[in-house]
Amino acid sequence: MQSFHGKSVYKGIAMGSILIWKKNNVQIKRLKIEDAEAEVSRVGVAVTESVRQLQALYDKALKEVGESSAAIFEVHQMLLEDEDYLDAVHNMIRAEHVNAEYAVAVTGDNFAGMFADMDDDYMRARAADVRDISDRLARNLAGRGETGFDFANPVIVVADDLSPSETVQMDKGKILGFVTVHGSTNSHTAILARMMNIPALVGVPVDLENLEDGTLAIVDGYQGQVVFEPSGEACRKAETRMEKEREQLWLLQTLKGKENITLDGHKINIYANIGNIGDVGYVLENDAGGIGLFRSEFLYLGRNDFPTEEEQFQAYRQVLLNMAGKKVIIRTLDIGADKQVEYFNFGKEDNPAMGYRAIRICLKQPDIFKTQLRALLRAAVFGNLSVMYPMITSVEEVRAVWGIVAEVHGELESLDIPHKVPEQGIMVETPAAVMVSDELARLVDFFSIGTNDLTQYTLAIDRQNERLDDFYNPHHPAILRMIQMVVVNAHAHGKWVGICGELGSDLELTERFVRMGVDELSVAPGMVLSLRKIVREMKVGK
Ligand code: PEP
Ligand code: MG
């Protein structure tokens, strides 16, 4: 039995076998080889295996998401069999007597660099594809096989770190818990774990080299502890606590269908946050009144190219239809910072959290923004849609957004395409937006306070930096006063205010938020009923 402590991201208990998650990118060393021809034939075998895998992925995608999305796997097959690419690999092996893995990695980098420098947007986006196929080839050369996102049985994933795009691709039904060596409690991976109600720990100092797949483990999100090879006694205790958790969950179920109303008659909305269509099931299961934050950028992660207007339209439409008239607030693309997408080709920034992200990208690259807006306006016809814009800092930005929305509206109108301009609000997640919230309130239909970024920017603390977790204090009076200020300014102009950052699910603050006049709290689906319980047991008492 061996135990380690870390920081808890989601309180809950999980017990099961571990799976050690290794990054896709194999560590590649340059090795001198004697027999170049044997190395060249290893490449041939790996290409055949890679093509076979891609064909299987194509067949799966064709069934699940249709031809246009599946086509990317055909493109990858073609790239893998491209003569120039393979000649370059073979030539390098023969000329420099290097191992196949190294030749593939260098050739992949060279070709990706060539594509990235091209003028044409489509060709530039192929850089990510070349990297992807080179990674696949290198994995197969190293005998590592598929990426391993499809776990056969539910497991506790133990990893060095997980990026949002890795997490988003995992089959949530197959994950009992997460344990990572690195990572901050405020990262998007942590948020995803909370969204899925998965016990998770970050900052756990385990040595992955000394662990084996299949080892039994208990993740205790209450104590921030993971135990490997637990004793029979520890397993029995964990079973009892899991049983208790199930009972408490069952008690909360009795609140389903009830109103979010205080003992003295004050009502608020409790909505849920989601990252993709699959999460709508959790929203309905937990009886949320609506979706207060659909992080649409997750549609852009874990893939090799921009989602098309049609793909986005189908996704938004599906969510609206599934929610059957309940409010759905979709946030426009909030990419950048920790949500990096290779095919955007942004390059490295010194300060990505303060960099080219969210609305800034949309205003600078209106084509990307307009594609999403067209999909949103078209989908609006199918339900109760609201749209909100992230990372706003000024009145000018909102005016610029309105200008682009008007253009999209005009274009759809002239083409006679059914659409609707929905209710539109902004995220208040920068101190600047708070300070001009009186002026912003005149322009928008609502505010949704993003406490994750608001805390980061107000306290000057990178939310990704695990060493600063102890300083990251969303209960800081500066944050709470800012929230109050935003509520006052919104209400003065007859606008409503929600909180969609993680602080909205902090049960210690629920009563305070209700008394402040916050109109809506949007939280991880699994938290909805816990909040409802507090609201129904409190009095505003004015
Ligand atoms: C926030 O910043 O509080 C928020 C809800 O947005 P995200 O966590 O996606 O940045
Ligand atoms: Mg944010």
CATH number of the CATH domain containing 163 = 3.50.30.10
Poorest-confidence range of 36-40, 153-157, 451-455, 510-514? Answer: 153-157
Alpha helices in 298-394 (DSSP H): 309-322, 359-364, 366-379
Work out the percent of the chain whose per-residue pLDDT is above 70: 94
According to DSSP, the residues that pair with 269 across neighbouring strands are 520
Same domain, yes or no, for 271 and 163? no
Lowest model confidence (mean pLDDT) among 249-253, 313-317, 393-397: 249-253
Packing angle, helices 100-116 and 121-141, rounded to 10? 170
Q: Is 424 helix (H, G, I), strand (E, B) or coil?
A: strand
Between 82 and 171, the more confident residue is 82
pLDDT computed for residue 69 by the predictor: 60
**pLDDT at position 171, please?**
73
Rounded to 10 degrees, the C-alpha dihedral 132/136/141/142 comes to 100
167, 126: one domain: no
3-state secondary structure 243-263: HHHHHHHHHHHCCCCCCCECC
Residue 429 Cα: closest atom of ligand 1: 2
Q: Judge whether residue 65 has pLDDT over 60.
A: no
Which atom of ligand 1 is nearest the CA belonging to 273?
A: 5
Residue 276 has pLDDT above 80, yes or no: yes
Same domain, 277 and 410: yes
Catalytic residue among 76, 90, 362, 500: 500
The alpha carbon of residue 422 and the mean position of all alpha carbons in its chain are separated, in whole angstroms, by: 24
328 band by pLDDT with thresholds 50, 70 and 90: very high
pLDDT tens per residue across span 238-252: 999 999 989 988 999
Q: What are the pocket residues of ligand 1 if the criterion is a CB atom closer than 6 Å to any ligand atom?
A: 191, 293, 295, 334, 429, 450-453, 500-501
- Please tell me whether residues 7 and 111 are part of one structural domain: no
Q: Are residues 13 and 56 in the same domain?
A: no
- Of 268-272, 332-336, 378-382, 434-438, least confident by mean pLDDT is 332-336
Query: CA-to-CA distance for 187 and 339, rounded, in angstroms?
Result: 10
CATH number of the domain that 454 lies in? 3.20.20.60
Look up residue 380 and give its amino acid: A
Closest Cα to atom 9 of ligand 1 = 295
Known catalytic residue at 491: no
Q: Return mean pLDDT, the chain.
A: 90
- Do 7 and 96 have their domain in common? no
* Structural domains in the chain (count): 3
Confidence of residue 253 (pLDDT cuts 50, 70, 90): very high
Q: Is the pLDDT of residue 427 over 70?
A: yes
Task: Encode pLDDT of 109-128 as tens digits.
Answer: 898 888 888 877 677 767 77
CB contact at 8 A, 268 and 260? yes
Instruction: Among 184, 331, 334, say which to mutate for ligand 1: greatest number of ligand atoms within 8 Å of CB.
Output: 334
User: At which of 141, 162, 190 does a domain end?
Assistant: 141
Residues 6+ apart with CB under 8 A from 177: 12, 14, 16, 156, 157, 198, 199, 200, 201, 219, 221
Residue 458 Cα to ligand 1 middle (Å): 14
Residue 451's pLDDT is: 97
Residue pair 500/494 in contact (Cβ under 8 Å)? The answer is: no
Tell me, what's the pLDDT at 479? 97
Q: In this structure, are residues 532 and 260 in contact, taking their beta carbons and an 8 Å threshold?
A: yes
CA of 305 to the centre of ligand 1 (A): 24
Position in ligand 1 atom list of the atom nearest CA 456 = 2
* Beta carbons of 160 and 189 less than 8 angstroms apart: no
Q: Encoding tokens for residue 302?
A: 């874990």
Domain match, 67 and 201 both: no
- Find the 323 Cα to ligand 2 centroid distance in Å: 24
pLDDT of residue 491: 98
Q: Whose CA is nearest to atom 4 of ligand 1?
A: 450
> 27: pLDDT confidence band, cut at 50, 70 and 90?
low
Tell me what the mean pLDDT of segment 41-64 comes to: 82
Least confident of 65-79, 182-196, 371-385, 514-528: 65-79
Ligand 2 centre to CA of 486 (Å) is 16
Mean pLDDT in residue range 426-445: 98
Burial class (CB in 10 A: 0-12, 13-18, 19+), 200: buried
In a domain, 486, yes or no: yes
The strand pair at 290-295 and 327-331 is best described as: parallel
Q: Best substitution site from 500, 518, 522, 527 to test ligand 1's pocket, by max atoms within 8 Å of Cβ?
A: 500
Domain boundary residue, one of 123, 141, 159: 141
Residue 245 lies in a domain: no
CA distances from 284 to 187, 342, 525 (A): 25, 33, 8
Predicted confidence band at 204 (pLDDT cuts at 50, 70, 90)? very high
Of 76, 90, 188, 419, which one is the catalytic site residue?
Answer: 188
- Ligand 1 mutation pick, 294, 429, 462, max ligand atoms within 8 A of CB: 429
Q: Considering the entire predicted model, what is its pTM?
A: 0.76
What range defines the domain where residue 225 resides? 2-23+148-234
pLDDT band at 153 (very low <50, low <70, confident <90, very high): confident
Q: Please provide the size of the chain in residues.
A: 542
* CB-based contacts of 41, cutoff 8 Å, min separation 6: none
- Ligand 2 centroid to Cα of residue 185, in Å, is 14
Kindly state whether residue 460 falls inside one of the protein's structural domains: yes
CA of 293 to the centre of ligand 1 (A): 9
Condensed to tens digits (0 to 9), the pLDDT of residues 484-538 reads: 999 999 999 999 999 999 999 999 999 999 999 999 999 999 999 999 999 999 9
Distance (angstroms) between ligand 1 centre and the Cα of 191 equals 9
Claim to verify: residue 177 and residue 44 sit in the same structural domain = no
Helix axes 528-537, 232-253, angle to 10 degrees: 60
Query: How many angstroms is it from 337 CA to the middle of ligand 2?
Result: 10
Closest C-alpha among 292, 297, 266 to residue 446: 292
Amino acid at 13: I
Ligand nearest to C-alpha 450:
1
Query: Do 52 and 83 have their domain in common?
Result: yes
User: Helices (H) and strands (E) in the chain — how many of each?
Assistant: 19, 16
Lowest mean pLDDT among 146-155, 233-242, 421-430: 146-155
Asked if residue 241 belongs to a domain, the reply is no
- 489 and 356 fall within a common domain: yes
Query: What are φ and ψ of residue 336, in 5° steps?
Result: 110, 180
Q: Does the residue 257 lie in any domain?
A: no
**Whose Cα sits closest to atom 6 in ligand 1?**
450
| 166/292 same-domain check | no
Q: Does the residue 418 lie in any domain?
A: yes
Q: Which residues contact 482 (CB under 8 A, 6 or more apart)?
A: 431, 434, 454, 458
Atom of ligand 1 nearest to the CA of 191: 8
Does residue 278 sit in the same domain as residue 295? yes
What is residue 132's predicted lDDT score, i.e. its pLDDT? 78
Residue 443 has pLDDT above 80, yes or no: yes
pLDDT at 147 over 60: no
The answer as to whether 246 is a domain residue is: no
SS3 21: strand
Out of 295, 360, 482, mutate this one to test ligand 1's pocket (max ligand atoms within 8 Å of CB): namely 295
- Of the given ranges (16-30, 154-168, 385-399), which has the lowest mean pLDDT? 16-30
Query: Which CATH number goes with the domain that contains 90?
Result: 1.10.274.10
Task: Return the higher-pLDDT residue of 64 and 40.
Answer: 40
Q: Which atom of ligand 1 is nearest to the CA of 451?
A: 3
Smallest CA-to-CA distance from 103 within 76, 141, 53, 51 is with 141
Task: Identify the residue with better confidence: 268 or 31.
Answer: 268
Neighbour-count burial of 534, counting CB atoms closer than 10 A to its CB (0-12 exposed, 13-18 middle, 19+ buried): middle
Last residue of one domain, picked from the residues 209, 234, 259:
234
In a domain, 298, yes or no: yes
| Across 277-305, average pLDDT | 91
3-class DSSP state of 387: strand
Phi, psi of 422 (to 5 degrees): -80, 175
Measured by CA distance, the residue closest to atom 3 of ligand 1 is 450
Residue whose Cα lies nearest atom 8 of ligand 1: it is 452
Q: Is 500 a catalytic residue?
A: yes
